[in-house]
Amino acid sequence: MNITVVNFKGGVGKSMIAHQLITGFGYRGCEIDPYGSLSDRLPDMVERIEIQEKHLPQPVRDTIFDFGGFDDIKLDQAIGYSDLIVIPFIPTLETIQGTVDTLVRVAPMDKPILLVPNMSQKENDIADAKFVFDETLGFEVEMFALPMSVALQTAINENRSIIDLSRQGGIKGYAYKKSANLMRDLHAKIREYAN
The structural domains of the chain, with segments of one domain joined by +, span 3-191
Task: Between 123 and 41, name the one with better pLDDT.
Answer: 41
CA distance 133 to 51: 29
7-104-139 Cα angle (round to 5)? 110
Identify the pLDDT of residue 147: 87
**At 29, is the secondary structure helix, strand, or coil?**
strand
Task: Tell me the residue type at 166.
Answer: S
Identify the pLDDT of residue 174: 80
Q: Does domain 3-191 have CATH number 3.40.50.300?
A: yes
Q: For 179, left (φ over 0), alpha (ψ -120 to 50), or beta?
A: alpha
Identify the pLDDT of residue 78: 95
Identify the pLDDT of residue 124: 85
pLDDT over 70 for what percent of the chain?
A: 99
**pTM of the full structure:** 0.94
CA distance 57 to 67: 14
Residue 168 has φ and ψ, to the nearest 5°, of: -70, 155
Task: Tell me the residue type at 40.
Answer: D
131-67-63 Cα angle (round to 5)? 105
Average pLDDT, the chain: 91
pLDDT at 43 over 90: yes
Q: How far is CA 152 from the centre of its chain?
A: 13
pLDDT at 188 over 90: yes
**CA atoms 145, 149, 154, 160: torsion sign:** negative
Question: What is the mean predicted confidence (pLDDT) over 125-131?
Answer: 90
CB atoms under 10 Å from CB of 145, counted, come to 15
Identify the pLDDT of residue 42: 96
Q: For 62, left (φ over 0), alpha (ψ -120 to 50), or beta?
A: left
CA distance 5 to 148: 19
Using a 10 angstrom Cβ sphere, with 0-12 exposed, 13-18 middle and 19 or more buried, the burial of residue 70 is: middle
Reported as a single tens digit per residue, the pLDDT across 73-95 is 999 999 999 999 999 999 887 78
Reported as a single tens digit per residue, the pLDDT across 138-154 is 999 999 999 888 899 89
